[in-house]
Amino acid sequence: MWIAIIAIFAAGIGNFAMHRAFMESDDPLIQQMVRPLADKVGPHITYVFEYLLLVGAMAIATRNWFTGLMLYGLYTIFNAMAFSWVMHRGE
C-alpha cells in the first residue's frame, strides 16, 4: 500500500507540473477552456480540482492499492498525452 501511495504522490508532482505549464501557456485553446471557469469561480480553482484528484486517488489506495494506482496512472497517462499534444501542435 505504501509503495502505491508514494507512486501516486510522485505522479501527482508530475501532474501538477504539467498543469502549471498548461495554465502558464499562452495557448488560445487552454485560455478558451479555462477562462470561463476562472472568471466565475477564481483563477486557482483548477489547482483545487487537481489536488482533490490526488487526495482521492491516495484515499482509494488506502483501501485497494491496485485500483488507486491504476486509476491515477491512467489519469496521468491521459494528462501527459494531452500535455504533449497541446504543447507540440502547430499554430
Q: Percentage helix, strand, coil, to 5, in the chain?
A: 90, 0, 10
Contact 32, 24 (CB under 8 A): no
The model's confidence at residue 90, banded by pLDDT at 50, 70 and 90, is low
pLDDT at residue number 8: 96
Q: CA-to-CA distance for 22 and 25, rounded, in angstroms?
A: 5
- Please check the confidence at residue 31 and state whether its pLDDT lies above 90: no
Q: Write the pLDDT tens digit of every residue in 38-89.
A: 889 988 899 999 999 999 999 999 999 999 999 999 999 999 999 999 888 8
